[in-house]
Amino acid sequence: MEKQLDPMKDDLPLMANTSHMLVKHYTLDLDVDFKSQIIEGIIVFFFETGSRYRKTSSTDEEGCQSQFDETCKIRASEPCHIPVTDLSACSSTMEYNDFAVCGKGEKDTSDKNGNHSNGEQASGIPSSKNCCDIENHGSTDFLLVLDCCDLSVLKVEEVDVAAVADIEKFARSAKLTDASEELGNLRNQIVHELVTLPADRWKEQLYYYTRCSQAPGCGELLFTTGTWSLEIRKLGICTPRDFPHAIRIWYKTKPEGRSVTWTTDQSGRPCVYTMGSPINNRALFPCQEPPVALSTWQATVRTAARFVVLMSGENSAEPVQLQEGILSWYYYVTMPMPASTFTIAIGCWEEVKQQPFTADVQTNSDFSLPFSQADLRWHEERCGHVEYPCRFQNPAARLQTVIPYRVFAPWCLMENCKELVLQLIPQCLSAAYTTLGTHPFSRLDVLIVPSNFSSLGMASPHIIFLSQSVLPGGQHLCGARLCHEIAHAWFGLAIGARDWTEEWISEGFATYLEDIFWARAQQLSHDEVKGQQELKALLRWRRLRDEVQNSEEELQVLRPNKENTGEVSESGASVVKHGLKAEKIFLQVHYLKGYFLLRSLARAIGEASYLASLRKFVHKFHGQLVLSQDFLYMLLEDIPEQKESGLTVESIFQNWLDTSGMPKLLPDQLVLLLESLLEEKTLCPRTLQCLEKTYKLREQDAEVRHRWCELIVKHKYVPGYGDVEKFLREDQAMGVYLYGELMVNEDAKQQELAYKCFAAAQEHMDVSSAKVVAEMLF
Ligand SMILES: [Zn+2]
C-alpha cells in the first residue's frame, strides 16, 4: 500500500501513479474559443500496465523486473520500493464516496451505487484529499491518478476499441467471448498490441489511434478531482492490469488556468500560448506529468479561421476548413516525450518569408562533417531507447545539415524578423549539426511570442519561442539565444532529465553549447572564438557570484536530491522540490554553475575530445531520461588518465553538484581567471585587493602566484610589491620574465624593485638565467 508524499507549499507534486499505469499516447481533440478564453475538448489516453504490475512471464506474477521496462532500464539495480513520508500526515476524516458518475454506458456492467453528478462540483473538493489514501477508506478498487489542475472534468469513460473495424488483427491471440470480463481483456490486449507496434508501422499506429479515439464508449468511469489530481476508478476493478487501457475524458480549461496565457500580440490581436509554467500542461489537459511517462501525441485543434495554430508536431499542419470561418489543424509526434514538453501557440501570426528574388542564405554546407571514425562506430550501434522512427537511424536524416524551418511573428515585427531571425536560423542550425550531428527533430518553427513572455526563449519539440527583446541591436543576442534554444533539442528534449530537480543537465549544456554553436555560426577565427568565449565566461562568473551572494543556499544546489535523485514513491508519484518557488524561476544558478562545470571539464579534457564525448553521449542516451551520473560516468570512463588527477564522479558531486555556493576553483581555473583578467586594460586597486582576499592568492601554487605577480606589475599595485619580491627570490625557476615586465613599464619604483631583487639573488642564480636577467635590466 502506498503512503502519500507530503509536499511543502513551494513543491510541485507529481501525482500520477505511473508505476501502475503508464500512458503511451494522447489523442487530443480541442476547440479553442477566444471569446470565453476556454479550450474545450476530449482527450483519449492509451495506457500500458505500469512496470510494477506487468507480467514477467506467462504466469501472473507481479513485480518490477519486467523485461521491457524503461523505468528500470537506465539503472537496472534501482530498488523498487522507496519509503516515503509518514501516513500520519493524512487527514483521517476524509470520506471517499464522492466519485462522480453520470449515467451508464451500454456495456457498463459494474456501477450500481456511485452516482453523483459530475465534475464541476467534484472540482471543489478540498486539496487535503490529495494526501489521503483511498485504500484506508474501505475501497479496494484500483485508482488511476492523473495530474490535473484548474480543469473542469465533465465526463470520463472507457473506450470500446474492440468496436473499431479490422482491429481484431491486433488481438488475434485473444479469444473473443461474450463475458464482459473477457471483453475487457480483449480491449486491453488490443491497446497493448497497438502501443507496442514496431517503429516502421508508425503510420498504421497513428491511423488506429485516431480510429480508436473515435470508437464508442462502453461505460462511464467514476472520477473525482482534487487541487492537483484527477482520480479515476472502475467499480470492482482492483488491479491496473484489469483497468481500462483506453480512456476518454471530456473537459474544459478555465480562463485563469496556469498552463496557458490568453493575451494579445504586439499588433494588438488576441492569442493564447503555453508559457512554460511551473505546473506545465496540467491545466491544459489531464496527463501523467512524471518524466518517466514518455508518450507520443496527436492533436486536432479547431478555431476561428484568422488564427494560426502552431504546436509540437512533426508535420507542418495544413489547415482544413470544416465550416464557414472555422479551420482545423492536425499535428502529431512519433517520438515519445514527457507531456510537459507539449507546446501550443495560437494567434494571428504570419509566416515570415524570404523575398523570392533574394539569394539563398549560406548554410555552411561546406563545413566538414563532425564525425570521426569513432563517431561512425557508435552510429552502427542500435539506439538505447524504446522503439520509434528515430532520425539517428535514418541515413537521410543523419545527413541533414539544416532541417526545414519557418518563422512566425506578429505583423508589426515581420520586417525585423526577415532581416535577422530568418537569416540566423540556418547558420545556427548548421553550426549545431557540425557540433553534435543528427538533428533529433525533423523541423522547426520559431515564434516571436507576445511581450509578456517571461524569458528570452523557450525550446519545445519542433517549436522555439523567442522574445522580441532579442530582435533590436544586431545579431549577437538573437544569434546566441537561438543557439541556446537549438541546443535544447539535444539537451533537454531528446535527452531529458529523469529527475526534474537536475535541470542543470539541460540548462548547463545549452549554455555551454550556445557559445560553441554561436562561434561556429559566425565563422570566427580561433583567436576571436577564444576572446569571445572568455569574455562570456567572465560575465557569467560575475553574475553567478552575485546570485550566490543573494539567493537562498538551498536553491544553489544542482542535485538537490543527492543520492536519492530520480527516486519516486511506490506508485511513481513524487514532488519536485521548490518546483513552485517563484524566485527560483529568475535564478540562473543552475545554468551558470552547470556551464562552469562543463567548461572546466572541457578544459581538463581538451575541447575536441570533449565534443566527441558529447556526441557519444547524445548517441547513447537520446530518446531517454538521464541523471547527472549517466553523463559523468560515461565521460570519465573515456578519459582514465583524469582519475589520477583526482577528477572523479564523487569529487564532481562534492565540489559542484551537491553543495551550495561557488565551486572551489581548481588551480588551473584560477590561472585561467587571472589570465583573463590580465587582458583587462585597467583594474582598480580595490578589485585586486578583493581578488587576493577572495582566492587567498598568496597561498596558491606557483603558477597562480605567477599570474598574480603579473597583475600586480601590470596595474602597479604597490601593496603587492612584497609578493613580487618574494616570488623573484623563491621561485627563480619561473620568475625570469617578471624582471622584464618590471622594466617595461618604465616606472621608477618597479625598476628599483627589479634591481633590488636581482642584486640579492644574482650571486646564487643559475648562470644563464642571470645572463638573461642582466640583459633585461642593464
Ligand atoms: Zn535513436
d(CA 213, CA 35): 28
DSSP characters for 563-601?
GGTT---TTS-EEETTTT-HHHHT--HHHHHHHHHHHHH
Tell me which of 30 and 560 has the higher pLDDT. 30
Among 298, 327, 322, residue whose Cα is nearest residue 212: 298
Give the pLDDT confidence of 707-761 residue by residue, as tens digits.
Answer: 999 999 999 999 999 999 999 988 888 878 899 999 998 899 999 999 999 998 8
Give the pLDDT confidence of 164-180 residue by residue, as tens digits.
Answer: 988 877 776 555 555 56
Tell me which of 169 and 162 has the higher pLDDT. 162
Crossing angle, helix 373-380 and helix 607-621, to 10 degrees? Answer: 10
Give the pLDDT score at 431.
96
Give the pLDDT confidence of 87-138 residue by residue, as tens digits.
Answer: 333 333 333 333 333 333 333 333 333 333 333 333 333 333 333 344 444 5
pLDDT at 379 > cutoff 70: no
Which of 199-208, 298-307, 374-383 has the lowest average pLDDT?
374-383
Beta-sheet strands, E only, within 236-323 = 246-253, 260-264, 270-274, 295-304, 308-311, 320-323
Please report the sign of the dihedral spanned by the C-alpha atoms of residue 253, residue 154, residue 17, residue 575: positive
Which of 279-288, 579-588, 697-706 has the lowest average pLDDT?
579-588
Distance 313 CA to ligand 1 centre (A): 18
Distance 571 CA to ligand 1 centre (A): 29
Q: What is the mean pLDDT of residues 669-677?
A: 87
| pLDDT-derived band at 75, boundaries 50, 70, 90 | very low
| pLDDT-derived band at 268, boundaries 50, 70, 90 | very high
| Annotated catalytic residue, options 485, 507, 547, 710 | 485
Give the pLDDT score at 633.
81
pLDDT at 205 > cutoff 60: yes
Give the pLDDT confidence of 519-578 residue by residue, as tens digits.
Answer: 999 999 989 998 888 888 888 888 888 777 777 777 666 666 767 767 777 887 887 777
Distance 606 CA to ligand 1 centre (A): 27
Q: What is the mean pLDDT of residues 307-335?
A: 95
Which of 20-34, 379-393, 429-443, 649-663 has the lowest average pLDDT?
649-663
Distance 509 CA to ligand 1 centre (A): 20
- Residues around the ion ligand 1 (C-beta < 5 A): 383, 390, 392
d(CA 263, CA 539): 34
Distance 536 CA to ligand 1 centre (A): 34
Cα angle, residue 333 at apex, residues 327 and 338 outer, rounded to 5°: 115
DSSP state for residue 58 in the 8-state scheme: S
Distance 393 CA to ligand 1 centre (A): 6
427 CB neighbour count, 10 Å cutoff: 24
d(CA 432, CA 504): 20
Q: What is the mean pLDDT of residues 588-601?
A: 82
pLDDT at 79 > cutoff 60: no
Q: Which amino acid makes up residue 53?
A: Y
| pLDDT-derived band at 644, boundaries 50, 70, 90 | low
Give the pLDDT confidence of 333-355 residue by residue, as tens digits.
Answer: 999 999 999 999 999 999 999 87
Distance 622 CA to ligand 1 centre (A): 6
Which of 191-195, 386-390, 557-561, 741-745 has the lowest average pLDDT?
557-561
Give the pLDDT score at 160.
95
How far, in Å, are 26, 118, 223, 237, 309 from residue 109 at the CA level? Answer: 26, 20, 17, 11, 41
| Surface-to-core class of residue 449, CB atoms within 10 Å of its CB (0-12 exposed, 13-18 middle, 19+ buried) | buried
Distance 394 CA to ligand 1 centre (A): 9
Distance 513 CA to ligand 1 centre (A): 21
Give the pLDDT score at 442.
96
Distance 195 CA to ligand 1 centre (A): 18
| pLDDT-derived band at 768, boundaries 50, 70, 90 | confident
485 is catalytic: yes
pLDDT at 671 > cutoff 50: yes
Distance 383 CA to ligand 1 centre (A): 4
Distance 623 CA to ligand 1 centre (A): 6
Distance 380 CA to ligand 1 centre (A): 11
SS (H, E, C) 717-737: CHHHHHHHHHHHHHCHHHHHH
Which of 200-209, 250-259, 635-644 has the lowest average pLDDT?
635-644
Distance 129 CA to ligand 1 centre (A): 41
Mean pLDDT, the chain, integer: 81
Distance 379 CA to ligand 1 centre (A): 10
pLDDT at 419 > cutoff 60: yes
Tell me which of 690 and 429 has the higher pLDDT. 429
Q: What is the mean pLDDT of residues 401-411?
A: 96
Give the pLDDT score at 98.
36
